[in-house]
Amino acid sequence: MMTGEVTTTKRPPWMWLLALLLVAVAVAPLVFQWLGNVDDQRLVDLDVYRTGGEAILEGRPVYDFLTPAPQLLPFTYPPIAALLATPLAAMSWPVAQWVWTILIFVTLAVGVGFGFRAALNRASGLWLPMAFAFLMVACTYLMPIRDQVRFGQVDILLVALCLADCVVRRPVWPRGMLIGLATALKLTPGVFLIYFLIAGFGPGAKEEHRKTFFMAAFTTALLTLLPFLVIPDDAVEFWFHALLDPERLGANAATTNQSMRGMLIRLYMPDWLTSLLWLALVAVVAWYGFRYARRALLEGHPVTGVALVGLMAVLLSPVAWIHHLAWVVVVLGALVGDGRDPVRIRVAAGVWLYYVLPIPWWGVTIKAAEIPVLSPVLGKIVQNGFGLGALVLVWLLGVWLPRRRESFRALP
């Protein structure tokens, strides 16, 4: 007999514990590989943050130190980052390594949760924890995320801050504040100020986007000016000296620099020609990238907008290491969408595999083989593989994806 009652399947609480266990087991080899590395190769960027915090606590100049040999790395971040790193400096080095590694996976979980929210909503019920665990493990083994763990990097934290600020439906904080924090910490998230500036003005603009821009700009300015009151000498040194020296970031021609400028530098043209071509490419890619991102936002696809702006942070920057491509997590979420379109799933799987493989380093191997004609040309293309791939991703998200949405809706 039909009673008219609706029954729902309740998810046992232990399902999330099982999902957490599966993630922990799957990522353990990666974590123990890098946390068990030799001392001078272990989480070297975390050592930079921590040493910057130590300099603050000990009253030493932040931008004068180098980490111990063989790395000899300087502090390259804005002074507010050194102030916020003081809690790391108060911890022992082994404790700081574990705390930071756990933070990497917590912020990756935020990126996966918001980036793949549409697909996860369709996997509600008993399958939601397992779907989330699968996506966490898949994203962990992307090369840019593996490098987060290897070096103890901060990029996935910046991704989580910007993504949450853009896509949370009812934030408890003023929207734009997290973007301002991320921008003050590492500057490159400042592309999101441009994003909300062009989204907040012009045809179809919304008041909420203007408010987001002003809040992000205010927070960035506040956190940028604060060090001038607390550590004025370090603030002056960064903004008027250290920031103007791109070589402080490392060898700009190195394979791991996958920005457009990095790719051009590896062509070894005259400096003036490299700079001219770079500025021209920045203008063209920025025009299309921000235009596509604005359209995605105004059409109700904020994850796609965030993914495009994240790619701008990589491509337009003078220096963008492979780990800066942590934005690929959001790109994959935008491509997958709600998971109903098998073509989008296959394309996302291809992008995932591409960024799992160490393709730029294959280019180095090809060049070293010194095969006439083949090695110089093919080797250079493959060496620039992740940067060239990012340009393709801009086209995928900005041109192909809107067309695919339309055609999929038109299917019977």
Share of the chain above pLDDT 90, in %: 81
Calculate the CA 67 to chain-centre distance: 24
Give the Å distances, CA to CA, from 185 to 158, 227, 265.
9, 12, 27
pLDDT at 374: 80
Task: State the pTM of this model.
Answer: 0.94
What pLDDT was estimated at residue 408? 84
Q: What is the pLDDT of residues 122-132, one digit of tens each?
A: 887 778 999 99
Supply the pLDDT for residue 4.
Answer: 43
Per the prediction, the chain carries an average pLDDT of 92
pLDDT for residue 411 = 67
Secondary structure in 3-state letters for 24-35? HHHHHHHHHHHH
* pLDDT less than 50: residues of the chain: 1-8
- CA distances from residue 2 to 5, 6, 8, 10, 167 in whole angstroms, order as listed: 8, 10, 16, 21, 41
Structural contact between residues 351 and 393, judged by C-beta atoms closer than 8 angstroms:
yes
